Amino acid sequence: MTQFIGVEDMRRLVRSTGTKAFLTQLADYIRHDFSRWPEFEKSARVASHSRDGVIELMPTSDGRLYSFKYVNGHPNNPKTAKLTVTAFGVLADVNCGYPLLISEMTLLTALRTAATSAFAASVLARKESRVMALVGAGAQSEFQALAFQALLGIEEIRVYDPDVRAVDKFMANAAGFGMTLVRCATVADAVAGADVITVCTAVKGKVAVIDAAMLRPGTHINAIGGDCPGKTELHRDILERGRYFTEFTPQTRIEGEIQQAAPDYPVTELWEVLAGIKDGRTSTADITVFDSVGFAIEDFSALRLVHDLTEGKRRMVDLVPELDDPKNLYGELVGERTVAEVA
C-alpha cells in the first residue's frame, strides 16, 4: 500500500502543525539535505515548453530514497481561474522501487519555496535584517512573509504589485501575521530602506524589475519568480555588483538570472557555503543575491518531512498490486478465476 496525501490532507497537516512551525521544520530538513549535497543524484529538470507555459519533471535520489515532482508554470492561467503552478510528487524506496508516498505538491511547493528562501537568507542576509520588500503579491507572497518572519525575525513587509487586487488580497491575508504591512505605489518605494528584497513575479520575458541604483549596501536579494529560459527579473548591473548564489548552477544557467551573464560568470552554490568550501556574506556591506529557480532536493526534503510527520496516521491507497505470487500479475487482473475459466 502507498500513502496518499490530497489537498485536504495537506491542509489538515499544516494546520495541526502550525504554518510557521511547519515552515521552520521544513527549512531544517532542507538545510540537512543541502548539508549532504554530494550524496544526491543531481540533474537539471526535464522541461517541456509551450507557448503558454512549461511542464517539468524534477527527480533526485540520495541512494536510499528517490523522489520526483511533476510541476507546471503557466503565467496566464489566472485569467481563466486556474492556478499558475500546480504540482504533485512521489517518494519511493530505492531498495525495492516501491512508491512510499504520492502527495499533492501545489500547497507543498509554495511552502518549500518559502522555506528555501528563508533558509538561504538565514545564511546570506545580515542577521539584523528586519524589513523586507515584497515585489509581487501573487500566490507565493504570504508564504514568503511568514517564512521570513519565522526564520529571520522580519517585522515589516513593504509590498508592491501592479495588480491592486493582488495587494488587497495580500493585505487581508497577512493582517493577522503580527507584522507591519506597508502598501507601496512603486517598486522603488517598496525597496527603499529594505534589508531583504524578495522578487516573485510570474511574467515571462526579460524584465528589469529592480536595478542596482535602488539598492543600499548590505541588501540581500531573494530572486524567486517563476523561472524559465528567456525570463529574468533583475537588471544585469546587479550581477556585476552583488555576490551571487545558486542551488544547482547548471539548471540556474538555463533558467536563472545568469542567463544574462557570460558562461564563466562566478557563482557559489549554497551547499558550498554550508560546507565551508566558499564564503557567503563577507561583510555587512555585501549585496548578496540568491537566485532560486527551485531544485529537486528541496522537494525531496518536503516529501520526507510530510512522510515523517504523518507516521502512524497515514491514509493508504492500493497503487501497487499486492500478490501472493509476484509472477502472477495476470491472476491479479482477472481475480480468483483461473486462466481456464476465463478461456
Q: Which residues does the annotation mark as catalytic?
A: 227
- Which of 170, 313, 282 shows the shortest CA–CA distance to 217? 282
Specify whether the CB–CB gap between 277 and 245 falls below 8 A: no
Q: Please say whether the dihedral angle defined by the alpha carbons of residues 6, 8, 10 and 16, taken in this order, is positive or negative.
A: negative
> How far, in whole angstroms, is CA 265 from its chain's centroid?
24
Dump strand ranges (E) for the chain. 2-5, 46-49, 54-61, 65-73, 87-93, 99-104, 131-135, 156-160, 180-183, 196-199, 206-210, 220-223, 232-234, 243-246, 268-269, 288-291, 316-317
Strand extents, DSSP E, 136-250:
156-160, 180-183, 196-199, 206-210, 220-223, 232-234, 243-246
All three cell numbers of 115, joined, read 522555506
Element holding 249 (H helix, E strand): helix 249-255
Beta-bridge mates of residue 4: 102
Q: How many CB atoms lie within 10 A of CB 56?
A: 20
Paired with 58 in beta bridges are 69
Residue 73, C-alpha cell as written in the block: 508554470
Q: Which residue has the cell 508554470?
A: 73
